[in-house]
Amino acid sequence: MAGNEGSMFGTLDILMLSGMAGVALYWFVFRKKKEEEVASFKPLKVAPAMDRSESFDPSFISKMKKMGRNVVVFYGSQTGTAEEFAGRLAKDASRYGMKGMVADPEEYSMEDLTKLPDIENALAIFCMATYGEGDPTDNSQEFYDWLQEGSEDLTGLKFAVFGLGNKTYEHYNAMGKYVDKRLEELGAERIYEQGLGDDDANIEEDFITWKDKFWPAVCENFGITSIGEDISMRQYSLQTHDDIPSEKLFTGEPARLGSTRTQKPPFEAKNPFLASITVNRELHKKGDRSCMHIEFDITGSRIRYDAGDHIAVYPTNNSELVDRFGQRLNADLGQVFSLNNVDEDASKRHPFPCPTTYRTALLHYLDITSCPRTNVLKELSDYTEDAKDKAFLASMAQATPEGKELYTDWIINHHRTLLHVLEDLPSVNPPIDHVCELLPRLQARYYSISSSPKINATTVAITAVLIEYTTKTGRHQQGVATSWLKLKRPTDDLQPKVPVFVRKSQFRLPFKPSIPVIMIGPGTGLAPFRGFIQDRQCQRKDGKPVGETVLFFGCRHEDEDFIYEDELKAFLEDGTLTQLHTAFSRDQPEKIYVQHLLRQQKDEVWRLLELGGHIYVCGDARHMAHDVDEVLHDIVIEHGNMTREKASDYLKKMRSRGRYSCDVWS
């Protein structure tokens, strides 16, 4: 006994030490091994090598000093327009003895703004688009966060802002306004008032009107004068290739060469996934309009999505239009070429992936169906033989009231594309390489996802109306993406593949399924709500308490374009949908829309709001969403016994708390 009492370790001690040793062994050996395994996995970073020089420097200050630049134009762009405007402003600088460069804020250290005053006569210009419900664009998100969190002293920085937005949205030009206000708060000096471009009207006119007054303000501030006329200068030089192997040619990849041949995750905007189309069926029962239900198979992509997210599709232009371009310009579309930036220090080496063929560029990389900007018309005038045509094009490029009116009427109102201009003015004969330089990039098209991953995590559905119309010149126009997708019909032997990626959204069901929801979505605005309803159905089947689920849907005719009719009635029958209110606008003499039904159900709407319910609106921003908002104001005023001002505050609080969400378009 005495010997046992005197021993250093007892049985319990030994067991405890053995356990601790085992934990230590796990931690230092097995845990470390797991950490090494995790660390060894490197996600694919798709750097667009064709756009960026190998010696890329994240400091725009050092680049400006090296290149002798004193004007930097930053852009926040989702569709390419802000980037295009930034390029035009940088080019304009040379007319005033200044040298400009374009910069993507995502690629540079924006903290360097504090050092910009070190450069003589330095100026920073910001072309900032607003995305969604007042959000920054993807490439300006980090800059926005820096402005919000930072407290840097920007004293001495001279700046100007041009915002790009759409007045049909509640948060019109929110990003541009914020950048303008925040830079001033940090001590920067605004040298000219902020410009606001409205894409719902004529954003080109807004831009040229603003910049026509902006540059004189720059001259006055810096004590400089214009050094000459607006001389056209090529940004890219042509290089043709005759002996490049086919595997070295870009064939439609957005960024990485061969990415469509060797698919590697993660998949995003610069590295889309080739998804198979497994379903492509017509939703309209009759009539001359078309609405498609399309399902993409994303098996093996590791792409995750939630109901309410968006899927982006990279479309291909109509091959007949491309052939017409080649014929009109007398060009060999099979010629392999590159467009190389004449500025060897520029971060963007090519306007689109090069080398490639003219056919590939016109099919996959260039927007050939939009209306040309005024600067493009000015460039075309230099290639015009007929003096009358030359003067006509030049006049539309002028920032005069007459020039703006002529441009709006002949180009915008008649929806003339660049091809139409070339066809209507036969004396205009630009080289095809310059046309490729002038055309904007073809952008991905975004669609609200109309399915739920709770039903099938490897299937993404969209609901898309075929866009087609006849212009005032009698030309038949079709939507680039929808007309292309219309032809992508799967068979037993073939499932067409389409490049896609998913973009996350804030358009989400409440975290608690028990919270009631009101969904308002006429036409294809129903798309995300189909996913929402599928979510709620799965939650009910899992035994979760699900709140009331109310849908307001509208279309023209019940027997023609009541999409997903059978599904909605089945959801109503099994209790997933608590209420279904339908408005068929043209089935009676007086048109009835969803906003009218909402007003009829005002008591029920208020009851659900008082229960903490969420409201979701999807569809047309210009009319429907605005009218719905007006009805909601009236309901809150009447049932909440509030003034108009207090009702607005009530709805603003709902928005800020995620209880009133919109996914709208114009």
Active site residue 665: yes
User: Residue 216: what are its φ and ψ, rounded to 5°?
Assistant: -60, -35
Q: How is residue 525 annotated by DSSP?
A: G
Neighbours of 386 (CB within 10 A): 12
Count how many residues are written for the chain: 666
β partners of residue 520:
552, 617
Q: Give the helix, strand, coil percentages of the chain, each rounded to 5.
A: 40, 20, 40
Catalytic residue of the set 291, 371, 555, 618: 618
Q: How is residue 68 annotated by DSSP?
A: T
Give Cα 482 to chain centroid, integer Å: 17
**On the CB side of 300, how many CA atoms lie within 13 Å of its CA?**
7
The Cα–Cα gap between 500 and 348 comes to 24
Annotated binding-site positions: 77-82, 129-132, 164-173, 199, 289, 445-448, 463-465, 469, 479-482, 524, 585-586, 591-595, 627, 665
Q: Tell me the three state secondary structure of residue 616.
A: strand
Active site residue 663: yes
**Smallest Cα–Cα separation from 534: which of 449, 420, 651, 645?**
449
CA dihedral 317→320→324→327, nearest 10 degrees, is 120
Q: Concatenate the DSSP letters of all residues of 84-128 into one string.
A: HHHHHHHHHGGGGT--EEEE-TTTS-GGGGGGGGGSTT-EEEEEE
Annotated binding-site positions for FMN: 77-82, 129-132, 164-173, 199
Rg for the chain, CA atoms, rounded: 29
The Cα–Cα gap between 309 and 287 comes to 30
CA dihedral 344→348→349→350, nearest 10 degrees, is -140
Catalytic residue of the set 448, 452, 483, 505: 448
Annotated binding-site positions for FAD: 445-448, 463-465, 469, 479-482, 665
State the distance between the two ends of the chain, measured CA to CA, in whole angstroms: 91
Q: Which residues are catalytic?
A: 448, 618, 663, 665
